[in-house]
Amino acid sequence: MVTIVDVARAANVSRSTVSRALSGYGRIGDATREKVLAVAEELGYRPNDLARATREGRSRTIGLIVTDIANPFFAEATKAVANTAAELGYELLVADTNEDAEIERRATRVFAEKRIDGLIVVPAPGGSHDHLFESVGRPAPAVVLLDRRLLQYGVTSVTSDDSRAAAEAVALLASKGHTRIGMIDGNWTGSGFTKTRPRTRGSTTADRSDGFSMGMKRAGLPVRSGWMLYSSARELYAAQTAFAWMLRQAEHPTAIVTNNSDVALAVLTVCREFDLAIGADISMVTFDDANWAKAFNPPISVVSRPVAKMGEAAARELVAQIDVHPPSRPIVLPNVLIDRESVTAPRNLA
């Protein structure tokens, strides 16, 4: 690689003159500058940002740690973060933890060693997250949480108002006459599925379940045991098993809310197996406006989460903090309920 010294030699000037020509600071003669620039161009000189960063104490690089980049939600968030960071003059280091807290710790450490200026993180569920915030070993000067909250630490978080949206989804279903409404939460850290509410903290998943319950209460509807299931996030078929189990109960729901698009796909699959027509036989609303939702027959009604905006907001907030603005209060972006055709009046009322 060609360095500043090489350029200096070739242009018959000193290192500092080259630096001045390149960075445009201090005074320099026009002729000298142009010559230096020409030589640099010709030699294909590229400033060494590592050296610069070492000296300046800032790397102009931020880190993003996600539980699963392949998940459409996080893929789109990543895109927004990457684009916003680039626009703001930062590069993006990415790590995928596969929801494993141990991998998260490792990524955190390595990122810290690379001296990232800030970190956006979707913490892996379960386990302690002290490593992200303890003063000794804090991975970066600035940290922002994406789609998660960790109240104990007082970090800025970017989420969407999932509680309200879940309640709204229930209200929509109730307004069509549904009284037996179920929900499947696909973010359980256990295996298989369970009827008992897991005590999760900080997850927006919990918001959705809570919002569901609240919506049911407001509509004056009971939540029967077995109408609200928590299925494993790791096991591919857990959500299918859960929903199939739900359908086999004596009085099963006539409408279902799912907390992400993967669970929605599971529900759709099971409906096909049970020969149940979406809309006509069973109504549904899912979180996340996946790209396939509009293509289905019938098109699926969804809670569209502001993914791209969340990613962008996280990046902007992070950079603001790097520029030593004080941390913002929690940022909560609005969801929008899009009613397509998967919600109709229940059969027995028709």
- Select from 71-79, 150-158, 206-214, 252-260 the region that touches its own copies (CB under 8 A): 71-79
Distance CA 251, CA 180 (A): 8
Amino acid of residue 119: L
Task: Reply yes or no: is the peptide bond before residue 253 cis, omega within 30 of 0.
Answer: no
Binding DNA (rule: CB under 7 A), the pick from 37, 38, 44, 56 is 56
**Min. distance of Cβ 148 from DNA in angstroms?**
31
Residue 328 CB: number of other CB atoms within 10 A?
Answer: 15
Binding DNA (rule: CB under 7 A), the pick from 10, 28, 82, 271 is 28
**Min. distance of Cβ 192 from its own copies in angstroms?**
21
Distance CA 300, CA 64 (A): 31
Instruction: Note whether 75 binds its own copies by CB under 8 A.
Output: yes
Please report, as residue ranges, which positions from 276 to 315 form the binding site for its own copies (by CB under 8 A): 290-292, 294-297
Residues in binding contact with DNA, number by CB under 7 A: 32
CA 253 to chain centre: 30
Binding its own copies (rule: CB under 8 A), the pick from 37, 88, 101, 112 is 112
C-beta of residue 284 within 8 angstroms of C-beta of residue 256: yes
**Min. distance of Cβ 164 from its own copies in angstroms?**
26
Beta-carbon contacts of residue 292 (< 8 Å; ≥ 6 apart): none
Distance CA 125, CA 68 (A): 12
Instruction: Note whether 131 binds its own copies by CB under 8 A.
Output: no
* CA 92 to each of CA 34, 46, 104, 167, 329: distance values in angstroms, whole numbers, following the listed order: 33, 20, 16, 36, 24
**DSSP for 154-223, written as a single string:** T-EEEEE-HHHHHHHHHHHHHHTT---EEEEEEEESSSSEESSPP---SBHHHHHHHHHHHHHHHTT---
What are the tokens at 103?
A: 């991998």
What are the tokens at 88?
A: 């703001």
Instruction: Note whether 15 binds DNA by CB under 7 A.
Output: yes
**Min. distance of Cβ 60 from DNA in angstroms?**
11
Please report, as residue ranges, which positions from 174 to 213 form the binding site for its own copies (by CB under 8 A): none
91 binds, among its own copies, DNA, none (CB under 5 to 8 A by kind): its own copies
Instruction: Note whether 94 binds its own copies by CB under 8 A.
Output: yes
| H-helix or E-strand spanning residue 304 | strand 301-304
Binding DNA (rule: CB under 7 A), the pick from 38, 54, 195, 347 is 54
C-beta of residue 344 within 8 angstroms of C-beta of residue 279: yes
CB-wise, 29 or 126, nearer to DNA?
29
Instruction: Note whether 39 binds DNA by CB under 7 A.
Output: no
Instruction: Note whether 93 binds its own copies by CB under 8 A.
Output: yes
Binding its own copies (rule: CB under 8 A), the pick from 23, 29, 34, 47 is 47
- Select from 42-50, 234-242, 262-270, 309-317 the region that touches DNA (CB under 7 A): 42-50
C-beta of residue 153 within 8 angstroms of C-beta of residue 133: yes
**Min. distance of Cβ 44 from its own copies in angstroms?**
3
Distance CA 171, CA 203 (A): 23
Binding DNA (rule: CB under 7 A), the pick from 34, 42, 52, 87 is 52
Instruction: Note whether 25 binds DNA by CB under 7 A.
Output: yes
- Please give the residue ranges that form the binding site for its own copies (CB under 8 A): 1, 43-44, 46-51, 53-54, 57, 59, 61, 68-72, 75-76, 78-79, 82-83, 86, 91-96, 98, 103, 106-107, 109-115, 135-137, 262, 265-266, 268-269, 272, 290-292, 294-297
